[in-house]
Amino acid sequence: MRYLKIITLSTLALMLSGCDNEGEFNLASAIASGVTVYQAATLEEQDVIQAAQLSAAELDKKNRVAPANSPYSKRLQRIVKGLEVVDGQRMNYRVYLSPAVNAFAMADGTIRVHSGLLDAMPDDQVLAVIGHEIGHVRLQHSYQRMRKQLLTNAVFQAADSAGEILPLLVTHSWGTGLSGH
């Protein structure tokens, strides 16, 4: 929360600062930065879960999903038996027919395993990968990553709104900015 306050105050300071001939203030970028900070501050886990549901549906359309009766799907269901619900959240497992040795998870409990991973690993190693993916879901990594990305975007928008002011401040305040201050 401390970083959010710093970013918000920095954005407001940039918005309220005057410009001289050397710098050009970009009001649209400053406003966009403020909006992005607001989005980060008000981002809810449920928002990320809804976005994950939409993304999962889109990815399932774009990839070849193994049918439920395929050997890959049957094997995956056997491996994850007992892990259909974790800490009250339903997991949604599917296999993508792809040679990639990969798996991924989304905030809504979507877990996708590529058939290449199933071809490359025995059941106990696949289970370890699944456990890792479940960890991403339970520890809300998608939510944290999205919030961090919004705050990073806000910083860049704020810097853009300052035009040439920010490099001038860095140069005048810290020399080249590379001295390790």
What angle do helix axes 27-42 and 2-16 make, rounded to 10 degrees? 160
Long-range contacts of 65-71 (CB under 8 A, 24+ apart): 65/94, 65/95, 65/96, 65/97, 66/94, 66/95, 66/96, 66/97, 66/115, 70/95
What token pair was written down for 44?
A: 């809810």
Helix (H) or strand (E) holding 135: helix 123-138
44 included as an active-site residue: no
> What is the Cα–Cα distance from 112 to 123, expressed in whole angstroms?
15
Phi, psi of 93 (to 5 degrees): -100, 135
The CA–CA distances, whole Å, from 88 to 83, 112, 133 equal 11, 19, 16
Start-to-end C-alpha separation, the chain: 24
Which of 44, 45, 133, 164 is the catalytic position? Answer: 133
User: At 88, is the secondary structure helix, strand, or coil?
Assistant: coil
- Catalytic residue numbers read 133
